[in-house]
Chain A
């Protein structure tokens, strides 16, 4: 179910004196099974952009085409679009409101008119996908830890069984363990075939997980390519108040001091391998 975005522009409060163009002239295509990282400073238009992908915002100009059909053309059911493209907002636990975890996750499927049996199956499946203990289903969401509530909110979207999952800062405010667990769940969802778009300020996470990275700057899509290519352009990223992962910066600094190492390293493991290789090549004692 590919998504195509053509010349997308969104202007808030158009025609008034407080008119603000949040995004403009954006073009890209998302294919099935991709894992995309969307990065950009606060106010660069990330949230505005993703809200167009499932029809929560209507373009001021341009098109959003899902499965070959413009979602704003006549006769298209936006409800159907939102079933296929799930969007998890920032701090989704603020939208958790039901009395039990079960009811909260079941909200989507019930709303779509699924039977009780079907709903129950979907809730259970969603719990498994996010690693949520089924014993928690009868509890109040307000008794759970921050990481658990975050997973309840994500499970609520997964219960709709979308083909594309868009997450806006899913790990914001979580401790390292909670963050690692959520990212692990997302990685597994992608491996099981889901298309994932991850909006994040955490460059280490994006570098480690995403194959493709899109960069927004003041409403424009200024880079779109493999994570390695995007993150190896430090000066370009810094001009947009972004930063490559620390290990990428480290390798670049080593290169400047004469090391023959790659500058497109993204993880601790890769950096380790490159440094050891170079030390061996130079015959430095101790580098086994």
Chain B
């Protein structure tokens, strides 16, 4: 591997993908998607239902292969069948419904499932599982049954199951859709910490606009294409475009923009409560 290849993250190059409805009917899900994600980046993918978010995510895990174009995961082309398992180990996926992902009757057995499948030595598995559960703050629950955990806790166990395989990237497909507000926050804070402290690349798909604020970069998809990309401020700053694709600016962002349009001298791109409070106080005290 050359030095250049080592630095490669996840890349989609002109990816076209069609779902087969029946023999004569195919639906275009990805219409030539181009995307480069650097190692260690936290990317949030937004877009209406049917825009191709999940389809693209599944390409980064080699669950789907492009009809046209190429997908590279840390320099590995997903079309090479010999690399499939290494790709899935290095870019693990977490799905929407935690109940469909947890298979064992005890939390630690569930987390051990991945490394066991990879043929890791039992002694090492123990260390991996303990470490993974600690990373998601679930070490106390290692002997519990997954079925008695809250939704947020179940998703953290599912994330630990991926972590136990020492991935470089975690892809999360609407992991918070079925959770209550505190469960959502638990999961978001957990993945943010994994990204910051362990340098794990995160691709997070969601319908909750406020979750985009955790991202380094927000990607917006529509009709199988990437139509917007940038920091949360850059993306939500284009509020007209955002609403055209059927998304919305988070409430505090709407408020900042409205205040600004009524002549209040603040940054219209502010998206968080604390930032807006500070800005308004600064304005009021005339500093």
Contact = CB atoms under 8 A, between A and B. Distances in A.
A271 B255 contact: yes
Contacts of B47: 175
Contacts of A177: 48, 246-247
Interface residues of B, number: 41
Contacts of A173: 96, 174, 177-178, 207
B178 A254 contact: no
B283 interface: yes
Contact of B247 (A175, A241, A286): A175
Contact of A241 (B182, B276, B284): B182
Contacts of A276: 259, 262, 264
B248 A176 contact: yes
Given A42-B179, A241-B181, A174 B207 contact: yes
A272 B255 contact: yes
A254 B280 contact: yes
A268 B262 contact: no
B21 to A, nearest CB: 9
Contacts of A175: 47-49, 207, 246-247
Contact of B49 (A147, A245, A284): A147
Contacts of A13: none
Given A41-B182, A254-B280, A279-B284, A272 B259 contact: yes
Nearest to A179: B207
A286 B258 CA distance: 14
Residue of B151, B250, B273 with most chain A CB atoms under a 10 A cut-off: B273
B265 interface: yes
A181 B273 CA distance: 27
Contacts of B252: 246-247, 250
A268 B150 contact: no
Interface of B: 47-50, 96, 150-151, 174, 177-183, 207, 209-210, 246-248, 250-252, 254-255, 258-259, 262-265, 273-274, 276-277, 280-281, 283-284, 286
A180 B209 CA distance: 13
A268 B255 contact: yes
Given A41-B182, A286-B264, A288-B262, A174 B255 contact: no
Contacts of A259: 280, 284
A184 to B, nearest CB: 14
Interface string A271-288: 110011011001011111
A264 B177 CA distance: 28
Contacts of A25: none
A34 interface: no
A98 B264 CA distance: 55
A164 to B, nearest CB: 25
A242 B181 contact: yes
Nearest to A257: B281
CB-CB nearest 10 A-B residue pairs: A177-B246, A288-B263, A241-B182, A286-B265, A175-B48, A176-B248, A42-B180, A146-B49, A253-B277, A201-B180
B83 to A, nearest CB: 33
B179 A287 contact: no
Nearest to A203: B181
A225 interface: no
A92 interface: no
B246 A176 contact: yes
Contacts of B286: 284
Contacts of B210: 246
Contacts of A193: none
Contact of A254 (B179, B183, B259, B277): B277
B183 A42 contact: yes
A190 B48 CA distance: 27
A253 B277 CA distance: 7
Interface string A28-53: 00000000000001110000000000
Contacts of A286: 263-265, 283
A3 interface: no
A173 to B, nearest CB: 5
